[in-house]
Structure 1
Amino acid sequence: MTPTHPGRVSILTAPSRALADAIAEFGEPRGYVATASIGIPPRRTVDALRADLDAWARADRDPQGYDSVAERTRASYARLVCVDASRVAIGSQTSVLASLVAASVPEGAEVLVAERDFSSLVMPFTQTPGARVRSAPIERLADAVTADTFLVVFSLVQSATGYVADAAAIREAAGRHGALTLCDTTQAAGVLPVDASDFDLTICHAYKWLCSPRGVAFLTVGPKADAVLHPRQSGWYAGDDVWRSCYGTDITLARDARRFDVSPAWQAWIGAEQSIGLFAGLDIAEVWDRSASLGELLCHELDLPPQRQAIVSWPDPDGSQLARMTAAGIRISGRAGRARASFHLWNTEDDVAEIVAALRG
């Protein structure tokens, strides 16, 4: 293929051995630039899922056997986002975890959300009686925090545009006014370095950049949030001893973030253990440099404003450009009247060149 920049073979530096090994696990998914919609599994994840299904079919599986899988996955995720595992609760959906937080908002308290953020993150707050929800553009969210704000809710990376929030400014403003922060890292964890301890609460659904089966989500709970969050969804898996917490109300909830756990969808966690374990062993800054470099190259080739992001989007109100790329065999997505390309560790300059060729004929 002709290089997109004549005379330059590659804009990407040679990957480290760990990253090269990880890339090899994904085969050759050329033309797949839709990770912001759904990630694809590494080989180890597919192998583990197949082995588990075979074991289940042989009647060689029991519920207790999945507990250690969930705990190893929790530990890997904790390492990935730089917190202790005792700060991590497990769940299945963003909206459910956001609803847990919303249910703990005091009557009359203000919740400041990013304008046009992902619905599963913000809708639970608009549906909470007594909460006063106000929105502001993500670019000016820090300036919108006031002394009346109880909680600031935003995605670290915006789903529709790939915009990376100025988390430091939002954190500083929230701290200055005594507000809590809830950051959704679904479009960040696995491609952009994330330190969950920077926020009072974070939520992540792992089926995108962490390349896990759908139905695996995480909530991290910092010390300030721990004091106000109520385990309203607690069930048997939130017990201090889960297998003695199956019946009745006379159970003791876990003392750490496990008291917010939801029982795991077993097969999904079999796959997630492998995928998240893989990403926890990588230098995510290296993954970001690779992915954002490809985003920058695409912007250069399409004469778009510079966006050093893993997600690049541009106006496509009638969907004609999306249709043209899809017809060319490119797996890409469209959101909010925009075409959206999302680059991950397996992508190369060839993927950029295919997009450009499809759009320019």
Structure 2
Amino acid sequence: MHHLRDRYAAGAGYLAACTLGLPADVTRDAVARDLERWASGTATAADYSAAVEGARGHAATLLGTTPDRIATGSQVSVFTGLAAASAPAGAEVLCVDGDFSSVVAPFLARGDLRVRHVPLDALADEITPSTWLVSYSLVQSATGEVADEASVTAAARDAGALTLVDTTQATGWMPTDRVTGDLVVCHPYKWIGAPRGAAFTAFSDRAIAELTPHTAGWYSGDDPWASCYGPELHLAAGARRFEVSPAWHAWVGADAALGFAASLDMEAVRRHDLDLANAFRARLGLEPSDSAIVTWPDRTGCDLGALTAAGIVASGRAGRARVAFHLWNTEEDVVRAADAVTAGAAAAPLSPRG
């Protein structure tokens, strides 16, 4: 992974891929070229459509599916909202207690669904024949915990339940080409460093058949340029029926970013990121983990403050300090961050972490 660090203009001390990723050189250059074309009046809708289709293919590679099963969109919550809007009244939706709002809130907003929240490690066991859908993040935003996707999927299939899996905190640092779900949702602005506003979802045959495309518009037909006007309803046969009109400039960057990510050996990326994360955990006296996100209790915010004061870009979520290690990080980042936290704790011994 050492050869990839030069692909980023910054990165030293940046431990926030789980909040906002950094663009690789190809992404930065693509966005810059697009700005020039737009400003000069030479940008075309056809070129933007080609970027969307390129990104669709790369997204399919990263999620281990085919392009016809990929729907492009804008945000995770929009796809979750489609599932929520399609749920039968009174249906049970099973969520993880403390999961990211985008995979929970649309179901709560319906008002007539039975939404149950359970601990992550109990998710598979809590699925019953009355469960209509299981909605969860593959990697938890607040804690970095990695779900046992295989067990959840198997239990859901046995119970006849649909599954919605958000891989936003996973795709880009770990392989997700074998993740199975009726909706596998991803917003690649974190670990892949794409612009915000370019999300995508892989749909199963069952999801395509059973969900209603409530956001149908001119881009939800097989040929968007032939479905610009009514009075007919133009719906693609596959996942495209769930698409919304793309944010063109975002997708130019997303095409480059997703192509770069799809070219990487994602298992090697996972090993690199985990080696750094676990080296950091060891320095803090934490147990090793299978996540590139490291979090620990920091209710007073002292540890996050110490990291920030040391020039480390980190984050805090749900009363926990949070750091992430990715392609641009090195062992030096491990040492700098760990020294900042331990020095801060030594300077304020009465400020507990737990």
The question of a shared fold, defined as TM-score above 0.5 by the shorter chain, is answered with yes
Provide TM-score, normalisation by structure 2.
0.94
Match of 2:326 among 337, 340, 344: 344
Question: Partner of 2:43: helix, strand, or coil?
Answer: coil
Matched, 1:218 2:211: no
Contact kept, 8 Å, 2:72 with 2:201, in 1: the verdict is: yes
Which residue does the alignment assign to 1:12? none
Task: Look up the equivalent residue of 2:103 and give its one-letter code.
Answer: L
Which residue does the alignment assign to 1:77? 59
Task: Look up the equivalent residue of 1:194 and give its one-letter code.
Answer: T
Matched, 1:227 2:242: no
**Offset at residue 230 of structure 1 (A):** 1.0
**Offset at residue 192 of structure 1 (A):** 1.1
Match of 2:169 among 180, 187, 194: 187
Mapped partners of 1:316, 1:69: distance in 2:
42
**Offset at residue 62 of structure 1 (A):** 2.3
Matches within 5 A, 1:296-307: 296-307=278-289
Matched, 1:47 2:29: yes
Question: Partner of 1:273: helix, strand, or coil?
Answer: helix
Match of 2:244 among 249, 262, 284: 262
Match of 2:294 among 305, 308, 312: 312
Question: Partner of 2:86: helix, strand, or coil?
Answer: coil
Contact kept, 8 Å, 2:84 with 2:110, in 1: the verdict is: yes
Which residue does the alignment assign to 1:10? none
Match of 1:161 among 140, 143, 150: 143
Matched, 1:133 2:108: no
Q: Deviations over 1:201-240 (max 9, x none)?
A: 1110110011100001011101222221111101001122
Structure 1: unaligned runs, 5 residues or longer = 1-14
Percent of aligned pairs sharing the same letter: 47
Mapped partners of 1:267, 1:170: distance in 2:
37
Specify whether residues 166 and 59 from structure 1 end up closer, same or farther in structure 2 by C-alpha distance, changes over 3 A only: same
Mapped partners of 1:247, 1:226: distance in 2:
23
**Offset at residue 276 of structure 1 (A):** 0.5
Structure 2: unaligned runs, 5 residues or longer = 344-354
Match of 2:254 among 262, 269, 272: 272
Which residue does the alignment assign to 2:77? 95
Contact kept, 8 Å, 1:197 with 1:222, in 2: the verdict is: no
Mapped partners of 1:159, 1:221: distance in 2:
23
Matched, 1:249 2:231: yes
**Offset at residue 343 of structure 1 (A):** 0.7
Mapped partners of 2:216, 2:133: distance in 1:
23
Specify whether residues 206 and 249 from structure 1 end up closer, same or farther in structure 2 by C-alpha distance, changes over 3 A only: farther
**Offset at residue 65 of structure 1 (A):** 2.2
Q: Which moved more, 1:126-135 or 1:84-93?
A: 126-135
Mapped partners of 1:196, 1:125: distance in 2:
26
Which residue does the alignment assign to 1:151? 133
**Offset at residue 21 of structure 1 (A):** 4.6
Provide TM-score, normalisation by structure 1.
0.92
Specify whether residues 114 and 248 from structure 1 end up closer, same or farther in structure 2 by C-alpha distance, changes over 3 A only: same
Mapped partners of 2:178, 2:43: distance in 1:
34
Mapped partners of 2:5, 2:307: distance in 1:
24
Question: Partner of 1:340: helix, strand, or coil?
Answer: strand
**Offset at residue 129 of structure 1 (A):** 3.7
Contact kept, 8 Å, 1:72 with 1:273, in 2: the verdict is: yes
Mapped partners of 2:340, 2:256: distance in 1:
35
**Offset at residue 198 of structure 1 (A):** 1.5
Specify whether residues 197 and 87 from structure 1 end up closer, same or farther in structure 2 by C-alpha distance, changes over 3 A only: farther
Q: Deviations over 1:288-335 (max 9, x none)?
A: 111011111111100012223100000100111101110110001110
Task: Look up the equivalent residue of 2:321 and give its one-letter code.
Answer: A
Instruction: Give the paired residue count.
Output: 343
Task: Look up the equivalent residue of 1:142 and give its one-letter code.
Answer: A
Match of 1:172 among 154, 159, 166: 154
**RMSD (Å) for aligned C-alpha atoms:** 1.2
Matches within 5 A, 1:88-127: 88-127=70-109
Contact kept, 8 Å, 2:284 with 2:342, in 1: the verdict is: no
Which residue does the alignment assign to 1:60? 42
